[in-house]
Amino acid sequence: MSNPDLNLLITLDAVLAEGSVARAAKRLQLSPSAMSRALARLRETTGDPLLVRAGRGLVPTPRAIELRERVSQLVRDAQAVLRPAELLDLKKLERTFAIRTSEGFAENFGPALIARIGQLAPGVRLFFMQKPDKDSKPLRDGVVDLETGVIDLASAPELRGQALFRDNYIGVVRTGHPLSRGAITPEQYAAAMHISVSREGLEKGPLDEALLPLGLQRKVVTIVAGFSTALGLARGSDLIASVPERHTASLREGMYSFALPFHTAEFTVSLLWHPRFSADPAHRWLRSLVLDVCAKSSGSSQLM
């Protein structure tokens, strides 16, 4: 069965609304002959005469009366679908956005983001989802709206992304820790007791690789899955937590932070989303808000 000509719906809507071939032709800016041909096609397609002569005029058939409201609604719905998106009214926006991210990101940037949303769009809620791995399948499947992380955008061409900020690792200890009383050498750093942060439970990571050329190795005594947990342990012990500086700025308050005494490469934390949301006005607004909140946090983290 061939697909029906959906343009006939517009013609049918005009014919049923006007009850006159001449007035329908004028409404659609068609010639009388073109309108007559269109009506003939409609009669053939629907299997009904639609308009029949009664005296000097035309009256709708029962089938035409039955179709009138349905056809009118279909045309209005189609016009709404094809109409350019209306300006976003943040005060009336009611929506829940899911953001898949680390606990550290949510705890550090979440308060400012929630406060801004509360001021601009009080009907919007954020659902911060845990990120147990780097698999972006939930993003591709539409389960989440946004995702943050250290991700090579070239390896995910089907996704869209934008850099949020550059970050680097620093060391953090409790106030009064022996390492908080002066310059720290690579040897002192490596010899202290360390917390390894790894979602996979790995003992070694990029920091251990950076120490290898110096012939040094960290003494890892515990492994945790997140930076906030690492900082919580370091706050109440003599352990060292090595964490991203920007990512953990608010979580390190009241603790002693120091630059690592050896070179480590900076890395970029990015914001990711699926192309299906690229043109969504509300989604665009949220993305710009996340970017703005992260940008305004620049420089707020200072080593002590």
pLDDT tens digits for the chain (304 residues)?
467 777 888 888 888 888 888 888 888 888 988 888 988 998 988 898 888 888 777 888 899 888 888 888 888 888 777 766 667 899 999 999 999 998 888 988 999 999 999 999 999 999 999 887 777 788 888 889 999 988 776 666 778 999 999 999 999 999 999 999 889 999 999 999 999 999 888 889 999 999 999 999 999 999 998 899 999 999 999 999 999 999 898 899 999 999 999 999 999 999 999 988 888 899 999 999 999 999 887 544 456 5
Is residue 25 within 8 Å of residue 32, measured between CB atoms? Answer: yes
What was the pLDDT predicted at 114? 97
What was the pLDDT predicted at 142? 81
> Where are the CATH 3.40.190.10 domain residues in the chain?
91-160+273-296, 169-265
Tokens 């946090």 label which residue? 297
Is residue 268 within 8 Å of residue 168, measured between CB atoms? Answer: no
Between the alpha carbon of residue 269 and those of residues 77, 225, 246, 292, the distances in Å are: 41, 18, 10, 14
Q: Can you identify the CATH homologous superfamily of domain 169-265? A: Periplasmic binding protein-like II (3.40.190.10)
Is residue 185 within 8 Å of residue 191, measured between CB atoms? Answer: no
What was the pLDDT predicted at 266? 92
Distance CA 242, CA 196 (A): 8
Mention the CATH class of domain 7-82.
Answer: mainly alpha
Q: Which amino acid type is present at position 108?
A: N
> Where are the CATH 1.10.10.10 domain residues in the chain?
7-82
Query: 177: which 2 tokens?
Result: 């820790």
Q: Which CATH number fits domain 91-160+273-296: 1.10.10.60, 3.40.190.10, 3.40.50.300, 3.40.50.740?
A: 3.40.190.10
Distance CA 109, CA 228 (A): 13
Is residue 132 within 8 Å of residue 217, measured between CB atoms? Answer: no
Is residue 269 within 8 Å of residue 149, measured between CB atoms? Answer: yes
